[in-house]
Structure 1
């Protein structure tokens, strides 16, 4: 058993471990296990082997547990040792034994290590920018998932799928995920954001859309010595006559504490709010074809017009769209949109592993871009995943000297072709491929089966 486990660790370190050796070596995994006081038996699927197999599973296009176990069998067969059973139960039980805190800790550490690579030349006005947004993920329709993450109330019982709401903070410089929180579907984005402020570092700038632009949140962000750039909420009216004008379409205005306690705040938090705050309001018009919004009003706590010019802030908010692309990479490129696990605990673990794999791909893109002089954010995440999966067999078959040469070639091909920047692209939101002419499910499956039998 010890020999087989060591063989698997070596094989994973030679394939996945080499590209990610700076962020997730075996020593980091072992340290996290020790810090969390996680003890385990000496079995084939120990936490390290299970984690590597889990990562390779979400990075592959075939995300079945059978495919992950098949890789493990192939690694052992190549070494001429006894192979395990093709049954997936041992691997699935090993995944369920992985503590949620362990995966959360690894995700957080990899995100922080990726942020440490950012130099001053990649900062915005000398400061680090974080961008926040929320999204949803679907999961299998099981009793446990329905109880913890209920389906939308508009759907009939048995006709929908459990859906969880996630809030994520991404780094604008690296594109990596820094923080995550998970809640039920009807959770407002601002409630998720208030759970994520603790992950901001002093002097960070938080960038977000109008959902996050609230009086209490601007106060909370300033309280932790950070700043914010949000789009103005549609419920707050704009008055051109009020405020101190500091430039074209740029003024300082005073916001006053709400008269009633907003939802999501308790009385003590509401009473602790200051009576007023001064914010900066910037308004401009968009005339680029393809953009739905014509007029935008921004609210920011960056009051110094000399250090943070109007055009700089407008340009910064234009980069907010990157968070939508990052979420699309997670949900569409890596297929996190529809999860596979059947219990809430495993669903959360699966989300953390997806984000961990996403950060590792971002680290590979960062290494390729900085090594060969290509902007890392302009590289293709899908292309990076394809190249990595195709290079893994060659990394496994190569000697230690040749393996480093193959790794450098991997970085070179990742940086070979940058994705073009097309901000004025105008495409209609239509589908050419017609869907199948099957009706929607309006009754639970067991009722539909009974109707077929009685017909």
Structure 2
């Protein structure tokens, strides 16, 4: 068992297009496992091999579990070690055993490690640009998921999957996701964005689409000593004839504080 695990870890380190050794080394994973006191049995699909297999599965064109297990078998071929079964059940069970807090911890540490490697030449005017966006994701149709993230009301009961709305903030320089929040499907993008503001640092620039362009949010970002670049929301009426010109492509305009404050 030890030889097979060692072979697999070495093969994953050397895989082209999968920079696990630099971005998610085995010692980093083991460090988090020890911090969280994750207990696991010594088997082929230990947390490190399972996590690397899962990531390679997600990045591959063929995202099937069968293809992921076939890659493991190919890595072990001609290594004078026992070849595992092509049955995917062991891998799928090992993947389901990965603790959520382990993934969250590695998610944050990897993003932070990448940010620390960014030099001034990859910044905009020596400032970090953070992009914010939202999307929806479906998940397995279980009772727990349906209760926490109900399917759309437009779908017939029992015919749809639980769907959640996620908000993500990622670095424009590295492309890595830095923070993520999740809520029910009908959650407005601004509500998700306001949960992500806590992860901003002074002097950051937040880049987003028109969904995030609101007076209260721009004021909030200014109070955090951050700037924002958003497209103008389609409901905001503004005359381009008003305002002070600053060159061919810049104009200073005044937004008046709305009478009603946002609910959250």
Say whether the fold is shared (TM-score over 0.5): yes
What is the Cα deviation at residue 73 of structure 1?
2.7
Give the TM-score normalised by the residue count of structure 2: 0.86
**Contact preservation (8 Å) 1:17, 1:25:** no
Q: How does 1:45-444 map to 2 (within 5 A)?
A: 45-238=45-238, 245=244, 247=246, 250-253=251-254, 255-256=256-257, 258-263=258-263, 265=264
Calculate the aligned-residue CA RMSD, in Å: 2.5
* In structure 1, distance between residues paired with 2:28 and 2:17: 11
**Contact preservation (8 Å) 2:12, 2:20:** no
What is the Cα deviation at residue 193 of structure 1?
0.8
What is the Cα deviation at residue 141 of structure 1?
4.0
What is the aligned length? Answer: 262
Partner of 1:5: 5
Give the TM-score normalised by the residue count of structure 1: 0.53
What is the Cα deviation at residue 49 of structure 1?
0.9
**Contact preservation (8 Å) 1:50, 1:95:** yes
* In structure 2, distance between residues paired with 1:189 and 1:148: 18
What is the Cα deviation at residue 246 of structure 1?
5.5
Cα gap change, 1:148/1:16 in structure 2, threshold over 3 Å: closer, same or farther? farther
* In structure 2, distance between residues paired with 1:199 and 1:43: 38
Q: Equivalent residue of 2:256, what SS?
A: strand
Cα gap change, 1:172/1:17 in structure 2, threshold over 3 Å: closer, same or farther? closer
What is the Cα deviation at residue 239 of structure 1?
5.5
**Contact preservation (8 Å) 1:246, 1:252:** no
Q: Equivalent residue of 1:255, what SS?
A: coil
C-alpha offsets along residues 123-182 of structure 1, whole Å, 9 cap, x if unaligned? 222211111111122344444433332222112223333322121223223333222222
Cα gap change, 1:41/1:17 in structure 2, threshold over 3 Å: closer, same or farther? farther
* In structure 1, distance between residues paired with 2:70 and 2:146: 31
C-alpha offsets along residues 332-388 of structure 1, whole Å, 9 cap, x if unaligned? xxxxxxxxxxxxxxxxxxxxxxxxxxxxxxxxxxxxxxxxxxxxxxxxxxxxxxxxx
Greater relative contact order (Cα < 8 A, sep 6+)? 1
Q: Equivalent residue of 1:78, what SS?
A: coil
Structure with greater helix percent:
1
> Radius of gyration: which is bigger?
1
What is the Cα deviation at residue 212 of structure 1?
1.0
* In structure 2, distance between residues paired with 1:186 and 1:162: 12
Partner of 2:37: 37
What is the Cα deviation at residue 187 of structure 1?
1.0
Cα gap change, 1:18/1:140 in structure 2, threshold over 3 Å: closer, same or farther? closer
Structure 2 residue runs of 5 or longer lacking an equivalent are: none
* In structure 2, distance between residues paired with 1:210 and 1:2: 53
* In structure 1, distance between residues paired with 2:108 and 2:59: 19
Structure 1 residue runs of 5 or longer lacking an equivalent are: 266-455
**Contact preservation (8 Å) 2:13, 2:19:** no
What is the Cα deviation at residue 235 of structure 1?
3.3
Cα gap change, 1:78/1:148 in structure 2, threshold over 3 Å: closer, same or farther? farther
**Contact preservation (8 Å) 1:17, 1:24:** no
